[in-house]
């Protein structure tokens, strides 16, 4: 006869109070943080993606976005944002990455905590193929509040369309957003 313990008798991990994250957090030294976000309009099936790559000081290294994308859902577009950002990073030689998204579903799928949704299976597969080209790559959930730069870039690219990349001369609104994320008071 197999006896199962009561739920209350199972060992529990200690209660930990975690401060809610309310601002962008710097990655460890030598690691680049990649914030990703997407927009998607259900009526048209059109969307865009945006990303911001920053170093361990919070300084922008590369920012970009891609508009005029077709997608079947907001979830698919969020996965596409991660794929596009990761592709740019791999092509740019960035090999130690923390990839953040405000899509908890996609992050859980990438971390193996949730079954991969059929609608994003091919995008997740492509992302995993890119990950093997990195020395270090982790996927992290971040609240929308901490993902402002990527969100603003995706919104901008949705309006204007096309492919945009900035690596040294970027519009003031991008710089201001990135600077406010890391509490810099520098103005161009």
State residue 177's pLDDT score: 76
| 27-181 topology per CATH | Nucleotidyltransferase; domain 5 (3.30.420)
How distant, in Å, are the alpha carbons of 41, 50, 162, 183, 185 from that of 34?
24, 10, 21, 18, 22
- Contact criterion met (CB below 8 Å) for 52 and 149: yes
State residue 182's pLDDT score: 64
Question: What residue spans define the domains of the chain?
Answer: 27-181
pLDDT at 133 over 90: yes
State residue 58's pLDDT score: 85
How far apart are alpha carbons 40 and 70 in whole angstroms?
Answer: 9
Question: What is the chain's alpha carbon radius of gyration, rounded to the nearest angstrom?
Answer: 18
């Amino acid at each position: 006869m197999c006896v199962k313990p009561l739920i209350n008798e199972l060992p529990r991990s200690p209660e930990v109070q975690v401060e809610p994250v309310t601002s962008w957090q710097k990655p460890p030294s030598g690691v680049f943080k990649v914030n990703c976000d997407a927009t998607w309009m259900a009526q048209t099936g059109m969307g865009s993606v945006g990303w911001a790559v920053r170093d361990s000081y919070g300084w922008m290294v590369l920012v970009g976005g891609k508009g005029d994308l077709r997608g079947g859902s907001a979830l698919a577009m969020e996965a596409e944002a991660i794929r596009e950002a990761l592709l740019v990073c791999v092509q740019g030689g960035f090999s130690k990455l923390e990839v953040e998204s405000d899509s908890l579903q996609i992050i859980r799928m990438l971390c193996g905590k949730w079954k991969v949704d059929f609608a994003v299976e091919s995008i997740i597969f492509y992302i995993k193929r890119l990950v093997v080209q990195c020395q270090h790559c982790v996927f992290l959930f971040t609240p929308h509040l901490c993902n402002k730069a990527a969100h603003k870039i995706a919104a901008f690219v949705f309006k204007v369309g096309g492919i945009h990349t900035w690596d040294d001369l970027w519009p003031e609104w991008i710089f201001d957003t990135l600077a406010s994320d890391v509490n810099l008071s520098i103005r161009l």
